[in-house]
Amino acid sequence: MEKLTQQEEEAMLAVWKTDEGSIKSFMEHFDEPPPYTTLASTVKKLEKKGYVDSRLVGNTLLYAPAISEEAYKQKFLGNVVKDYFENSYKELVSFFVEKDKISADELRELIDLIENKPK
């Protein structure tokens, strides 16, 4: 699985939100949509990389995710933790604490999630 560019990730977020749709339907998920042709080109690149599948319905190409958002997050978040945080999720959380990006309440929620996770 190849890492996506920022533009490709933004397009994939629209694809995941839509589940299956046309380029026009993906554009609805952008605050500031890119030009139609730019998005169409990006989605074609995603198809070549194996991230989306397409099918022709009448005269319209519909695209659907070929990989789940969860699988993508798992793969690339794991790489971030490995490459930047010495393969330690504790170091990742510590980084966010030091940068004031996570509150004590949020940390308590995380602890609660860990302690009450179904086995």
**pLDDT tens track for 35-80:** 999 999 999 999 999 999 999 999 999 999 999 999 998 888 888 8
Residue 10 has pLDDT above 90, yes or no: yes
Question: What pLDDT does 2 receive?
Answer: 81
Distance of alpha carbon 5 from alpha carbon 36, whole angstroms: 18
Question: What pLDDT does 77 receive?
Answer: 84
Q: Domain 6-65, what architecture?
A: Orthogonal Bundle (1.10)
Residue 14 has pLDDT above 80, yes or no: yes
Beta bridge partners of 57: 60
Question: What pLDDT does 56 receive?
Answer: 96
For residue range 68-112, list pLDDT tens digits in order. 999 998 888 888 888 899 989 889 889 988 988 889 899 899 889
Distance of alpha carbon 88 from alpha carbon 81, whole angstroms: 6
Instruction: Sketch the domain layout of the chain as residue ranges.
Output: 6-65, 69-115
Q: Which of 8-12, 18-22, 55-59, 115-119 has the lowest mean pLDDT?
A: 115-119
Of residues 37, 33, 55, 56, the one with CA closest to residue 45: 37
